[in-house]
Every structure is written in structure tokens, then in C-alpha cells.
Amino acid sequence: MTAARFQRLRQVLEYRQPDLTIVTDNVHKVRNLSAIVRTADAAGIGTMYCAMPDKDYKAFKGTAMGSHSWVSVQRQPDVSAALRPLKATGYQILATHLADDSVDFREADYTRPTVILLGAEKLGVSAAGCELADMHITIPMRGMVQSFNVSVAAGIILAEVERQRQLAGLYSERRLDDQAYHRTLFEWAQPRLSEYCRENGLAYPALNEDGELVDGLAWQHAVREGSATTFDW
Ligand code: SAM
């Protein structure tokens, strides 16, 4: 880990938006999901949720695209299971839905805690997803085709989300709390060591400015002695 790389990881975490996420409603094509994850990362989304069958999720995770390391992608069995906990904590649910009564996506206020709900390739957002939504949004289309590819729609909407949040100063100061920031930074900078700590019930040791352990030898010694700080993972 070079100091520059570690600095980059820190900068990315400074931009992360803990009150912004995506839920995909049975989007199943691996290339679409991968493109959505990349776009989510670029907008500062740290966690997103995929309502999909387990076998499709395994196929998706198996592709191991680079951006998967930076965005936590969590599977849920159905869209209600994904949306209800977020709705209960105050997120507005914006369903991307191609209907006559949907509002232009540029009219929504994305500075509020927000879920962007994206629909399946053929069927769009399910009835359950539409029902849980606070607003249905649409990207105007002026051509012959009736809809965008779902990952393209995600990109267009997230560009507007980024614009509004940037204007509101939401990328100007760190929004992750200390615990989430330091935990994620450690996992990104020291992926193998973080796995070892979790498997062995150890707290993550402190990192220096280069992303290395402050005193690696002393920590290894403490682990061998059984005196390293523990943590209930
Ligand atoms: N036949 C489907 C329908 O009527 O919803 C088309 C699904 S579209 C190919 C897949 C997803 O991309 C949609 O569910 C929505 O999430 C997103 N999408 C595509 N075009 C969109 C648009 N113009 N506005 C908003 N979302 C769009």
C-alpha cells in the first residue's frame, strides 16, 4: 500500500453517502448489475441491495468485478424485505417507473435520505415495489424506444443525484460516522488482515498514515500471547 493509494481510499470514504442507496427489484443480468455497482460507487453509494434469487446472486458475485470490492452489495429475497427496513428508518423510496403519472426525475429532492428503486429488465419495478414507493420517477424519452437499459437509467438518475448533493455540500465533509469510516478503511487497506481479525475475534489494530499497522511486530506478539484487543464480530 503506497501512501498515495491509502490517501485515495480515505478520500473515497470522505465522499460516501450513508443516506443514499439503490435497491434492484429482480434485475438479474450480471452485466447490468455490475454496471449499476460501478455507477453506485461513483456517486458515493457504499451499500446497495439486490432483491433476487440466491442462485442469480451467486452468479453475479462470482464475476468478481473490481467495483464489487468498494460497494457492499447485499441480497434480499424480495423487494419488500429490501425496502421496508429502509422506509422504516426514514428513507424516501423513489421507484423508477415508466408510467403516465410518474414525475420527471429532475423534480425529486435527492438530498433527502433516498432509495432509488430500479426494475427488472423485462418487467420493470414489481407491483410490491411500486406500492412501497413514495414517488414514481421517470426519465423523459423522446425517441422510438420505450425504455433505457436499467444500468443506463441508473447512470442518468445518479448523475442528477450527484449534482444535487454536490450543490447541497453533501460531498464536502465526511458523512460516515467514525466507526464505519475506520472499519471500512481498515478492510480496504488490509483485506487479508481484516479477514483474519474477524475470523479470530480480534479488533482491527490502528493504521499509520501509509495504511500499515502502527506497530505490526508488537501487535503480532500480542496476538500470539493472547493479549491483543478482542472484538465480538
Ligand atoms: N417493460 C419495462 C417497464 O415497463 O417497466 C421496462 C423495464 S426497463 C428495460 C428496466 C428498468 O430500467 C426500469 O424498471 C427502470 O428501473 C429503468 N428505466 C428504464 N427506462 C427508464 C425511464 N425512462 N425512466 C425511469 N426508469 C427507467
Predicted confidence (pLDDT) per residue in 42-78, tens digit = 999 999 999 999 988 888 887 756 566 899 999 999 9
Q: CB of 129 closer than 6 A to ligand 1?
A: no
- Ligand 1 pocket test: pick from 137, 150, 156, 158 the residue with the most ligand atoms within 8 Å of its Cβ: 150
- One domain, residues 47 and 105: yes
Ligand 1: distance of its center to the CA of 59 in Å?
23
Q: Are strands 47-51 and 135-138 parallel, antiparallel or unpaired?
A: unpaired
Quote the cell numbers at residue 165: 448533493
Q: What is the CATH number of the domain that holds 108?
A: 3.40.1280.10
Hey, is 1 helix, strand or coil? coil
- One domain, residues 148 and 210: no
Average pLDDT, the chain: 95
- One domain, residues 98 and 120: yes
Q: What is the pTM of this model?
A: 0.94
Rounded Cα gap, residues 113 and 88, in angstroms: 12
Ligand 1: distance of its center to the CA of 164 in Å?
22
- One domain, residues 145 and 37: yes
Give domain status of residue 53, yes or no. yes
Number of H helices, E strands in the chain: 9, 7
Give domain status of residue 4, yes or no. no
- One domain, residues 152 and 189: no
Q: How many domains does the chain have?
A: 2
Q: Tell me which residue range forms the domain holding 215.
A: 178-225
Q: At what angle do helices 3-15 and 178-189 cross, to 10 degrees?
A: 140
Which of 190-196's residues contact partners 24+ apart within 8 Å by CB, and which partners?
191/69
Alpha helices, DSSP H, located in the chain: 3-15, 30-43, 54-62, 79-88, 127-132, 150-167, 178-189, 191-199, 216-225
Give domain status of residue 6, yes or no. no
Give domain status of residue 195, yes or no. yes
- One domain, residues 55 and 93: yes
Give domain status of residue 10, yes or no. no
- One domain, residues 193 and 156: no
- One domain, residues 66 and 157: yes
Give domain status of residue 231, yes or no. no
- One domain, residues 102 and 26: yes
For residues 65 and 3, the model is more confident at 3
pLDDT digits (tens, 9 = 90+) for 28-39: 999 999 999 999
Nearest CA to ligand 1 atom 2: 124
pLDDT, position 62: 78
Rounded Cα gap, residues 92 and 23, in angstroms: 12
Hey, is 48 helix, strand or coil? strand
Nearest CA to ligand 1 atom 23: 139
Q: CB of 181 closer than 6 A to ligand 1?
A: no
Nearest CA to ligand 1 atom 12: 150
- One domain, residues 86 and 189: no
pLDDT, position 66: 59
